Chains A and B, each alone.
Chain A
Amino acid sequence: MILFLCYITTGLLLLIRDCNEFLSFCHKHIFLEVFFAMAGEVPNLAESKLTALVVDDNFVNQSIHHKLLDRLGIKNDVVCNGQEAVDVHCSGRNYDLILMDMDMPIMNGIQATKRLREMGIESKIAGVTTRAEEEEVKEFMEAGLNDFQEKPLTISKLVSILRNLDFYVQA
């Protein structure tokens, strides 16, 4: 009787092992996708050689946005207002992505976005601002943005921007 129970138990354990291996073989990839998605895995895009420009007059936000991009492996420069963003493009620099604040002195985000588009700059521009009234967002988008996120910017919001703009496709 005891031997019989051991036999059954061993058989069940082997069956469970085989099922697990089978499931593991089929679903490992999906499981990892879900796991990493839930765990908020931060992608490293260094190999993609993306470049970005942070346009913001606030030193705290400059520091944070620079670090966020850095964390994702995206080389980036920082300027303090829309005029500097235009000037840096006039000097011949170009970026894959521009994170554009709205309220800035000298030239604000709406003016800068319009100006860059008039210059033929085709970089993806994501508006990043605390202003979230529908009319304000609409005006900003119509200036030539490709995407918009409300501040404060976080890793997940930045990944969302990259995904929306096809810079990052989750495996």
Chain B
Amino acid sequence: MQRQVALIKKSLFDQGYLDEQFMELEELQDDANPNFVEEVATLYFKDSIRLINSIDQALERGSFDFNRLDNYMHQFKGSSTSIGASKVKTECTMFREYCRVGNAEGCLRIFQQVKKEHATLRKKLEHYFQLARQAGPKETARRSK
């Protein structure tokens, strides 16, 4: 089971979904907070879904307030960077570029990619954390405090 967890984690890195920042978070796990990374990831997805909904609503209105859209995406990108969500971060960067040049069509198109990568990452991480919990504390708590 632990080997399976390790393989899944490796594939998340190899396929570019996660970067070294995720490992930095894992280093913060200890006996006092053995599920720290999962807790942070849960916070991230809760917050990012709120931002996605806000951006969706703004885009559906049809009036492109690029400053507002950029502000939302700045927050989204910040959170994604903080947990090591590499592909999501890349798409966020591209969205902000389109905002910067005022390209509405580009924003719409890229935002679909942002949502797609976000949904994929969420599914994969949920699966990973579920297995990690089943595998036991060896895979989750990396150190004693």
Contact = CB atoms under 8 A, between A and B. Distances in A.
Contacts, number: 49
A2 to B, nearest CB: 51
A71 B28 contact: yes
A46 B21 CA distance: 25
Given A64-B25, A67-B28, A130-B74, A151 B81 contact: yes
A63 B81 contact: no
Interface residues of A, number: 15
Contact of B82 (A60, A71, A103, A155): A60
Residues of B contacting A: mostly: helix
Contacts of B30: 71
9 contacts: A59-B46, A61-B78, A63-B40, A64-B40, A67-B28, A103-B74, A152-B82, A152-B84, A155-B27
Interface in A58-91: 58-61, 63-64, 67-68, 71
Interface residues of B, number: 23
Contacts of B36: 67
A155 B143 CA distance: 15
Nearest to A73: B145
Nearest to A101: B78
A61 B79 contact: yes
A152 B21 contact: yes
A48 to B, nearest CB: 17
Residues of A contacting B: mostly: helix
Contacts of B44: 60
Interface of B: 21, 24-25, 27-28, 30, 33, 36, 39-40, 43-44, 46-47, 74-75, 77-79, 81-84
Contact of A67 (B21, B33, B78): B33
A154 interface: yes
B78 A130 contact: yes
B24 A154 contact: yes
Given A151-B82, A152-B21, A60 B77 contact: no
Given A67-B28, A67-B36, A68-B28, A59 B21 contact: no
A34 to B, nearest CB: 21
A112 B47 CA distance: 24
A130 B81 contact: yes
A151 B77 CA distance: 11
Given A61-B78, A103-B74, A151-B78, 8 more contacts: A58-B79, A59-B46, A63-B39, A64-B82, A130-B74, A152-B21, A152-B24, A152-B82
Nearest to A103: B74
Nearest to B71: A103
Interface in A88-115: 103
A152 B81 contact: yes
A16 to B, nearest CB: 36
Interface in A115-159: 130, 151-152, 154-155
Contacts of B74: 103, 130
